[in-house]
Chain A
């Protein structure tokens, strides 16, 4: 079996992979849902938009569910502390997500315009709110979250919900919504034609540009206004998981330290910017698929930038820095990480294989004519 330290590092990467997978897969249908009321001006157009993701949104959402399950299994303390601490934020995500499965399946089953309009906005909320909140949550992780543990490792969150909505975190929320919408718009350019495609292209350019600007502003903000945390002692990478056995200080500039130690990690922010620029160029020339690949890479860059900046921290504590949760002291046991690693190694290629096949079966432009011909069987 792989040693404990290696597995802990692998699991940091795997959670990153699952989050990037979520952004690429569920992200594009959330971007499409966010654009739905604006890119589609009448019922038929909206049905075209919905049916570009109709056969796939459910499978895509599993990236999110699996990422949650993987965090539970690999980082149980992070799962426990973050989910109970961000209580209302998580409930808002959950309640927004209620509107997606029902919206997709229920909307077109009844012809009443009020019913359809209700679910259009339901799909909008279900698609736009989760990325916004995830972005806000990431922003708060970068800032540090007020929590601590008692001697029995019971987590206590001592902040409020409103405290999570601070300016930096809200900016992170905008970064997240911008990248998801950019990505969804690229997908729509690829899968639609005519007016819808034209509107999607405009949206892609607007949100791609917004992503560039907000990502750059967030970077400057982190370097000037957001401190960062550093481990002073403890946190042995191969010791048993005990988040109370280390000393941590808040330290300005700490979130840039990894880039100095390991310059290759600069690839993450460079990828985010370069891929966004390339995506903008491609989508402006109606090359939807190429732009989609670029926005996928851009999101990978953005997520990795946040992850690398904080490494080895996963969830730093602002009120009790020593309680911070890191890659080294918040993980499951050696055996569990090993078993979960093999589960991912076995199943992930299978998942990618049949997902690819499913997209292949449903490939091609979704058109107004296709909806008319399949009025009863499409969403």
Chain B
């Protein structure tokens, strides 16, 4: 039997390192397109201020990118180090997008980022712009492939279990690649990244405007960020990955949990704006309903029913019972490949194999499972409702708040008053961290909402871990916390230092706080030094 503590610590380590990595990813995804826009304007107009914008925001981009590279390798390693059985069980499918990500995306972005920083004097304007575009394409392609991998974990299409190799094997690569769940996740995730990049540039530009520094530079950056951010925020909401949630059973469970839909309601279901989910009695206290809204969001139809938790649970009970037959027959078949009767039973119950494996948490021989264990395994198939319900609502609320910010910023940009409304500048500045909070909440909903599975319906989280001693887990977790804390300090220090110094750090002599030397002591310069 696998120790609970080992599973919990492995999950904690993965959650901590993945969420840490995702502090850097969305900023890369978004800022890189802002760099493309700024540099395109430079190439088209020849105005050097846009080149300086590309270089200055590129400097901040570079600091962030380095952190993304450093913390990204952790995730690739971690499947092997801490999730060895997972790696064996699904590597045949899951490894493919990871390897293609390297070949198609990482090489592209990592080769061209070098030329982005160091190729200014060695490439023509158009060549350098092409380099920046390829950098953007590379980083966004890497998001595509990793979300194809993650989409498959949520919705494992195009694969079959092979009892001889004791693993899932690829049956249809195109199904994995064009998995609707993965496509919805990709669009939603990269859009969220664009919002992050836009909010970052908007907020820091607002700070310069509040201080009255580098006003022309800041205004131009503000306008580009406002327009790009508005389009992205609208896209995050319209293309929310909830749109894919009713396609399959996996996502229906998640949907029911995050909506606290205890019972199936007649279509179209209402949307619960506020409630205190009561897990024990399976109902919501103090609920505020908006009629019909949920059905429309979830199914995009008026007549399709969304199953509630009670119904899903009863359905899962049947699957667990069928899964017991599958696991028992599989074990007989692995002892004796010629056992025809076991093979027939196994093939009949194969779709429920994963549900039978859920019982391995409680008993080694699942055919000996007691009714209490079966009840427990069935209960496990629904993630805890309250954290899902609230994380989702908070994320959506922040998403709308960001949309409002960008809409307002864009409105004043069009009116030509973007530098004048101090309340707007403060709003933008204070909202710099908001997209990150929303993105982390989104990942929480996606991943916690898939529990108790690593691969929905196929492989329970509990069985996915490496057979390691607990001491190793405490040691590695302590190491990650130590290293990541130090790296975070260095990152935040550099980011704030260069953001405060502003484009003067380029040493062009055209901006405030130009230090003249190699990033030495900051000198103050007259606020209106820039004349362009």
One of B59-67, B243-251, B274-282, B431-439 contacting the partner: B59-67
Contacts A65-B76, A77-B88 known; list 12 others, CB within 8 Å: A83-B80, A90-B77, A90-B80, A102-B487, A105-B66, A111-B518, A151-B335, A154-B88, A339-B173, A355-B107, A361-B123, A376-B507
CA distance A375 to B84 in the complex (A): 46
Assess whether B526 is interfacial by the CB under 8 Å rule.
Answer: no
User: Is the Cβ of A84 less than 8 Å from the Cβ of B82?
Assistant: yes
Which residues of the partner chain A approach B475 to less than 8 Å between Cβ atoms? 88
User: Nearest chain-A residue to B120 (Cβ)?
Assistant: A377
Which residues of the partner chain B approach A214 to less than 8 Å between Cβ atoms? none
Assess whether B372 is interfacial by the CB under 8 Å rule.
Answer: no
Given contacts A59-B111, A376-B518, contact A97 B102 (CB under 8 A): no
User: Is the Cβ of A361 less than 8 Å from the Cβ of B100?
Assistant: no
CA distance A157 to B466 in the complex (A): 10
Which residues of the partner chain A approach B517 to less than 8 Å between Cβ atoms? 111, 375
CA distance A97 to B70 in the complex (A): 7
User: Is the Cβ of B79 less than 8 Å from the Cβ of A72?
Assistant: yes
Q: List 7 A-B contacts (CB under 8 A).
A: A58-B110, A68-B77, A80-B84, A83-B87, A102-B490, A155-B467, A376-B519
Assess whether B213 is interfacial by the CB under 8 Å rule.
Answer: no
CA distance A55 to B120 in the complex (A): 12
Q: Tell me the A residues contacting B by CB distance below 8 Å.
A: 51, 54-59, 61-62, 65-66, 68-70, 72-74, 76-77, 79-84, 87-88, 90-91, 94-95, 97-98, 100-102, 104-106, 108-111, 151-157, 240-242, 332-333, 335-336, 339-340, 343-344, 347-348, 351, 354-355, 358, 361-362, 374-378
User: Is the Cβ of B77 less than 8 Å from the Cβ of A73?
Assistant: no
User: Is the Cβ of A347 less than 8 Å from the Cβ of B167?
Assistant: no
User: Is the Cβ of A152 less than 8 Å from the Cβ of B494?
Assistant: no
Which residues of the partner chain A approach B114 to less than 8 Å between Cβ atoms? 54-59, 358, 362
CA distance A87 to B81 in the complex (A): 6
Which residues of the partner chain B approach A157 to less than 8 Å between Cβ atoms? 467
Which residues of the partner chain A approach B507 to less than 8 Å between Cβ atoms? 375-376
Assess whether B74 is interfacial by the CB under 8 Å rule.
Answer: yes
Which residues of the partner chain B approach A241 to less than 8 Å between Cβ atoms? 165
User: Nearest chain-B residue to A77 (Cβ)?
Assistant: B88
Proximity string of chain B (308-328) to chain A, C-beta cutoff 8 Å, 1 when within and 0 when not: 000000000000000000000
Q: What total of A-B pairs shows CB separation below 8 Å?
A: 258
Proximity string of chain B (9-30) to chain A, C-beta cutoff 8 Å, 1 when within and 0 when not: 0000000000000000000000
B321 to chain A, nearest CB (A): 21
- Most B CB contacts (10 A, CB to CB) among A84, A153, A374 go to A84
A340 in complex: contacting residue of B96, B117, B505, CB < 8 Å: B96
Assess whether B520 is interfacial by the CB under 8 Å rule.
Answer: yes
User: Is the Cβ of B519 less than 8 Å from the Cβ of A110?
Assistant: yes
CA distance A361 to B475 in the complex (A): 45
Assess whether B498 is interfacial by the CB under 8 Å rule.
Answer: yes
A203 to chain B, nearest CB (A): 24
User: Is the Cβ of B169 less than 8 Å from the Cβ of A336?
Assistant: yes
Assess whether B404 is interfacial by the CB under 8 Å rule.
Answer: no
User: Nearest chain-B residue to A348 (Cβ)?
Assistant: B103
Q: Is the interface of A mostly helix, strand, loop or mixed?
A: helix
A70 to chain B, nearest CB (A): 5
B519 in complex: contacting residue of A109, A335, A336, CB < 8 Å: A109
Proximity string of chain B (30-72) to chain A, C-beta cutoff 8 Å, 1 when within and 0 when not: 0000000000000000000000000100000011011101110
- Most A CB contacts (10 A, CB to CB) among B74, B87, B123, B334 go to B87
A70 in complex: contacting residue of B102, B107, B119, CB < 8 Å: B102
Given contacts A58-B114, A95-B483, A362-B115, contact A343 B99 (CB under 8 A): yes
User: Is the Cβ of B162 less than 8 Å from the Cβ of A333?
Assistant: yes
B506 to chain A, nearest CB (A): 6
Which residues of the partner chain A approach B110 to less than 8 Å between Cβ atoms? 58-59, 61-62
User: Is the Cβ of B91 less than 8 Å from the Cβ of A73?
Assistant: yes
Which of B102-134 touch A at CB < 8 Å?
102-104, 106-108, 110-115, 117-123
Which residues of the partner chain B approach A66 to less than 8 Å between Cβ atoms? 99, 102-103, 106-107
User: Is the Cβ of B87 less than 8 Å from the Cβ of A109?
Assistant: no
Which residues of the partner chain B approach A335 to less than 8 Å between Cβ atoms? 169-171, 173
Given contacts A69-B76, A72-B80, A362-B114, contact A80 B87 (CB under 8 A): yes
CA distance A83 to B465 in the complex (A): 12
Assess whether B164 is interfacial by the CB under 8 Å rule.
Answer: yes
CA distance A51 to B118 in the complex (A): 9
User: Is the Cβ of B467 less than 8 Å from the Cβ of A102?
Assistant: no
B210 to chain A, nearest CB (A): 25
CA distance A101 to B64 in the complex (A): 10
A376 in complex: contacting residue of B84, B112, B505, CB < 8 Å: B505
A211 to chain B, nearest CB (A): 27
User: Is the Cβ of B476 less than 8 Å from the Cβ of A87?
Assistant: yes
B67 in complex: contacting residue of A55, A101, A375, CB < 8 Å: A101
Assess whether B95 is interfacial by the CB under 8 Å rule.
Answer: yes
Which of B160-214 touch A at CB < 8 Å?
162, 164-167, 169-171, 173
